[in-house]
């Protein structure tokens, strides 16, 4: 039976949640780096298959090599800068929507306000007025909104290229 976060088993956020579940049961403080050997032993103890373990580690490896964007850096990619790039942050990841999404997020488009911003709350709540300029804690989202955010992240993962992660 799938556990709560197994709806998108190969999704990087699900993978990070799997690792955080492991960390929460370990002897390592949450702010510390957990040795790979410890993570592997916990994955085995949790009956996670070797193929799934490899998926977890390769996804984590890919995510750790991505650029980490601050909100200030993200704002520079609103389509109005010299490079014309349009980035949208969603669920902690930063997507390049320039080519496949400029009609949605570019100048004079319906979602232009999300360009160069974290659109997590706006898309989770389906309210464009909720695009935030500053850091946003999503812990107050309802379960329905959290599910909606997961669906948006899955859609973005399929359509756009992840170029980085958003720093908190």
Q: Angle at the Cα of 124 (from 118 to 127), degrees rounded to 5?
A: 85
pLDDT in tens, 95-149: 999 999 999 999 999 999 999 999 999 999 999 888 877 778 889 999 999 999 9
Q: What is the pTM of this model?
A: 0.64
Q: Can you tell me the distance from the alpha carbon of 24 to that of 22, in angstroms, rounded to the nearest whole number? A: 5
pLDDT in tens, 73-104: 999 999 999 999 999 999 999 999 999 999 99
């Amino acid at each position: 039976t799938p556990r709560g976060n197994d709806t998108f088993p190969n999704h990087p956020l699900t993978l990070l949640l799997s690792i955080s579940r492991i960390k929460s049961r370990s002897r390592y403080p949450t702010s510390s780096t957990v040795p790979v050997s410890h993570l592997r032993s916990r994955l085995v103890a949790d009956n996670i298959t070797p193929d799934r373990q490899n998926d977890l580690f390769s996804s984590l490896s890919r995510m750790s090599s991505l650029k980490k964007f601050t909100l200030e850096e993200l704002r520079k990619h609103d389509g109005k800068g010299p490079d014309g790039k349009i980035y949208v942050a969603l669920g902690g990841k930063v997507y390049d929507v320039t080519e496949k999404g400029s009609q949605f997020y570019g100048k004079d488009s319906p979602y232009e306000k999300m360009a160069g911003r974290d659109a997590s709350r706006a898309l989770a709540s389906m309210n464009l007025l909720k695009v935030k300029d500053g850091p946003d804690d999503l812990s107050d989202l309802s379960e329905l909104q959290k599910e909606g955010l997961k669906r948006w992240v899955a859609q973005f993962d399929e359509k756009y290229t992840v170029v980085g992660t958003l720093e908190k």
